[in-house]
Amino acid sequence: MARPDTCVNIAEKLAKVTEHWSPKTVLEANGLEFKAVKVKGDFVWHNHPEGDELFIVVKGELTIELKDRPSVVLSAGDMFVVPQGLYHKPYAAQECEILVMDPPGVVNTGAASSSLTADEEWI
């Protein structure tokens, strides 16, 4: 799907997301993909050798555990970059709405294939 040439409203896209941990691509810029994601509970430890992963929290609170580094706790309006290759595990006690930016082709669970691995899909 080509990059939309109309504006994309983040809340409208997130409202269409019905499953947790199932990123939906909403926009592409400079070869990077922005994905709307709803998360709740524990994700799996994984990494992305393809590049950095940017998290922007839209609603709620997201904890990201990081290998050999202190965890970070992100609230609405917070941005955080998980550096390329670094193992991390997101967690949200309550449902949390986020925007994630990745290089194309990145799988949500990295190489850690699990029941939470999602196919790429645009909304």
Taking CB under 8 A as the binding criterion, the range among 16-24, 38-46, 53-61, 112-120 that sits at the site for a copy of itself is: 53-61
Which string of x and - marks every residue 68-87 that binds a copy of itself (by CB under 8 A)?
A: -x--x-xx-xxxxx-x----
C-alpha 38: how far from chain center: 9
- The smaller minimum CB distance to a copy of itself, of residues 9 and 114, is found at 9
> CA torsion, points 54, 57, 63, 69, in degrees to nearest 10?
30
Residue 109 gets the label, from left (phi > 0), alpha (psi -120 to 50) or beta, of alpha
39 binds a copy of itself (CB under 8 A): no
Would you state the structure tokens that stand for residue 42, as one six-digit string? 């524990």
Classified as helix, coil or strand, 56 is strand
- The smaller minimum CB distance to a copy of itself, of residues 73 and 113, is found at 73
CA-based radius of gyration for the chain? 13
- The smaller minimum CB distance to a copy of itself, of residues 16 and 114, is found at 16
| Interface residue list for a copy of itself (CB under 8 A) | 3, 5-11, 26-30, 32, 34, 51-54, 56, 69, 72, 74-75, 77-81, 83, 101, 103
